Amino acid sequence: MVGGIGIGRRARIFAALSDPTRLRIVELLAERGEMSGSELAEALGISLALYSHHSRTLVEAGLIRRRKQGQTGYCSLDHELLRECAGSLIR
């Protein structure tokens, strides 16, 4: 285990990032901070349903957090997890 993240969890994180759309979601959240699902889908040029599919994978990997405000869902990036996971490769 490196930095508190086991190899299985790191594998899930890197697998989630292996898809170009999911990687772009992470990049957008890193650049802009918290965004709604609708804002992300629009920025990506994809349907909200397709965005939801990709975001579910990122949530399961622990890379993004969701919160609801009324009917709107917002996502934010877990910067610390991403930093720790990427840092595990650089020594």
User: Against a cut of 0.75, is the pTM above it?
Assistant: yes
91, pLDDT greater than 70: no
- Which residue ranges form the domains of the chain, and what is each CATH number? 7-86 (1.10.10.10)
Across residues 32-47, what is the average pLDDT? 97
| Residue 48: pLDDT over 80 | yes
pLDDT of amino acid 2? 52
Can you say whether the dihedral through the CA atoms of 81, 85, 86, 90 is positive or negative? Answer: positive
pLDDT at 42: 97
**Alpha carbon distance, N-terminus to C-terminus of the chain:** 14
Q: How far apart (Å, rounded) are the C-alpha atoms in residues 82 and 26?
A: 10
Can you give the pLDDT at residue 87? 79
